[in-house]
């Protein structure tokens, strides 16, 4: 079945309406550049040195529209070279496997996977299998896989739980093969294949910010899996209202703004798990800027990590002699120097969400099509409200 994916994907694309085939664009191509800081070279989470992203996209028959997205903080073995991490929950209607240990120990020991709601446990199981098979892991007896999700059941036959070992292996291999520092595929790919945001096709989006030298010259990058609702606004322009698709229309209609979003934040700034949690909390502000109100049925999760070597937690292999107990020296950004990073993550989160919408293509499943947001109309609205390019 894996070998048939390219053919199945081509067939699915050929069956999409014409609007899905038109060229898509990133937010900056439309003059949408949130905030005051500049993006990194790729304007992606991969601008944080060492971070890699890979996708596995499942488009099978007329009902399977899902996938896996893998985020690797660095190219080494994360179990032995762990990075500090923290989780923030804006609204916890969701399943983030492994979050309790991240909260307790403040570190990541595996790649992060994103997938569909009913696939998280299969993805976690497959991730553990892949990691335990790596050299040096022969005596490891405990591992904490981190897998997030959103519910893509509107376009995906989610009860079939189609994500398994092959898809996880494919996403991990794609991430491992990523040289880093380059563009990330966005829109209806990987874990974003079947997602819906603001009643339009959602998906994977990413963005970054490079802080000025005076603020540390740190990079903060964001990747989102958008699958939520609300009243879409772009730089304050009421795009959702103008297009006639928004939450509470006319109660305000049947759309309640439910759904979910997974937000992954990476930075090269040396941060402890405490300040990473503060950074993760600010990402929700970027989400709010796009028109989300974190409805009751929305699972809004942020997981943030630092790739800085100054704050890594290096473990000795279980097969090696036990080292003497020593204190671990660290060097980290102070509280007073966090504000620039806070601003950067708000801006990058907002833009990543726009990119997830603007780069997504229309998807059809079981006779239903969720259209990509019409970029020509978006351009018109932005021009009318005089916000593009500001």
Q: Across the chain, what does the average pLDDT equal? A: 91
- Predicted confidence at residue 35, as pLDDT, reads 97
Average pLDDT over residues 308-318: 87
Within-domain flag for 310: yes
Within-domain flag for 149: yes
Q: Is the pLDDT of residue 5 over 80?
A: no
SS3 271: coil
Average pLDDT over residues 297-314: 95
Our count of domains for the chain comes to: 1
pLDDT category of residue 250 using cuts at 50, 70 and 90: low
Within-domain flag for 323: no
163-211 pLDDT tens trace: 999 999 999 999 999 998 999 999 999 999 999 999 999 999 999 999 9
Tokens of 123: 């993805």
Domain CATH code at residue 303? 3.60.70.12
Within-domain flag for 12: yes
Q: Which residues pair with 205 in a beta bridge?
A: 224
pLDDT category of residue 318 using cuts at 50, 70 and 90: low
- Predicted confidence at residue 22, as pLDDT, reads 58
Within-domain flag for 357: yes
Look at the pTM and tell me if it is higher than 0.85: yes
* DSSP per-residue codes, 275-337: HHHHHHHHHHHHHHHTT----TTEEEEEEEEE--GGG-EE---TTSPPPPP---------GGG
The owner of tokens 């500001």 is 390
215-245 pLDDT tens trace: 999 999 999 999 999 999 999 999 999 999 8
Within-domain flag for 148: yes
pLDDT category of residue 259 using cuts at 50, 70 and 90: confident
Average pLDDT over residues 7-20: 40
101-122 pLDDT tens trace: 999 999 999 999 999 999 999 9
Within-domain flag for 324: no
Q: What's the rounded Cα separation, in Å, for the pair 72 and 218? A: 19
Q: What's the rounded Cα separation, in Å, for the pair 196 and 203? A: 7
Within-domain flag for 329: no
* Contact assessment for residue 16 and residue 373, using Cβ atoms and an 8 Å cutoff: no
pLDDT category of residue 11 using cuts at 50, 70 and 90: very low
| Residue 325 burial (10 A CB sphere; 0-12, 13-18, 19+) | exposed
Q: What phi and psi, each to the nearest 5 degrees, are found at residue 175?
A: -65, -40
Q: Is the pLDDT of residue 9 over 60?
A: no
Just list the catalytic residues.
260, 298, 300
CB neighbours of residue 182 within 10 Å: 13
Tokens of 63: 């009902």
Q: What's the rounded Cα separation, in Å, for the pair 390 and 32? A: 8
Least confident of 152-161, 186-195, 256-265, 319-328: 319-328
Give the structural domain span for 107: 2-318+334-384
- Predicted confidence at residue 247, as pLDDT, reads 81
Average pLDDT over residues 246-266: 75
Average pLDDT over residues 50-73: 98
Average pLDDT over residues 67-88: 97
- Predicted confidence at residue 21, as pLDDT, reads 41
pLDDT category of residue 251 using cuts at 50, 70 and 90: low
Q: From 153, 159, 167, 146, select the one nearest 68 (Cα to Cα).
A: 167
Q: Is the pLDDT of residue 289 over 80?
A: yes
Least confident of 15-19, 333-337, 344-348: 15-19
Higher pLDDT pick, 327 / 10: 327
């Amino acid at each position: 079945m894996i070998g048939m994916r390219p053919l199945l994907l081509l067939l699915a694309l050929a069956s999409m309406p014409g609007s899905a085939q038109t060229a898509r664009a990133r937010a900056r191509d439309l003059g949408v550049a949130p905030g005051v800081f500049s993006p990194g070279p790729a304007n992606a989470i991969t601008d944080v040195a060492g971070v890699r992203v890979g996708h596995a996209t499942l488009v099978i028959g007329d009902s399977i529209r899902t996938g896996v997205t893998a985020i690797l903080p660095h190219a080494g073995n994360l179990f032995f070279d762990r990075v500090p991490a923290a989780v923030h929950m804006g609204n916890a209607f969701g399943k983030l496997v492994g979050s309790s240990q991240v909260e307790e120990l403040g570190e990541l020991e595996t790649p992060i996977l994103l997938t569909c709601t009913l696939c998280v446990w299969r993805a976690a199981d497959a991730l553990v299998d892949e990691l335990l098979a790596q050299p040096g892991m022969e005596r490891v007896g405990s591992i904490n896989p981190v897998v997030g999700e959103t519910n893509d059941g509107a376009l995906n036959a989610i009860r079939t739980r189609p994500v398994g070992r092959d898809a996880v292996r494919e996403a991990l291999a794609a991430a491992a093969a990523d040289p880093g520092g380059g563009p990330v595929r966005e829109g209806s790919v990987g874990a974003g294949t079947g997602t819906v945001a603001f009643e339009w096709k959602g998906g994977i989006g990413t963005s970054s910010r490079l802080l000025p030298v005076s603020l540390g010259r740190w990079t903060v990058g964001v990747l989102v899996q958008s699958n939520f609702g609300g009243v879409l606004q772009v730089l304050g322009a009421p795009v959702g209202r103008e297009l006639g698709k928004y939450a509470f229309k006319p109660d305000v209609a049947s759309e309640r703004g439910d759904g979910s979003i997974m937000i992954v934040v990476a930075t090269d700034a040396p941060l402890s798990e405490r300040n990473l949690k503060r950074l993760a909390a600010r990402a929700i502000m970027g989400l709010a800027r796009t028109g989300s109100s974190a409805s009751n049925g929305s699972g809004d999760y942020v997981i943030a990590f630092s790739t800085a070597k100054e704050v890594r937690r290096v473990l000795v292999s279980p097969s090696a002699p036990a080292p003497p107990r020593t204190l671990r020296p660290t060097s980290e950004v102070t509280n007073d120097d966090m504000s620039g990073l806070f601003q950067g993550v708000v801006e990058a989160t907002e833009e990543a969400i726009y990119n997830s919408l603007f780069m997504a293509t229309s998807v059809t499943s079981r006779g239903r099509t969720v259209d990509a947001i019409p970029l020509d109309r978006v351009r018109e609205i932005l021009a009318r409200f005089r916000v593009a390019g500001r």
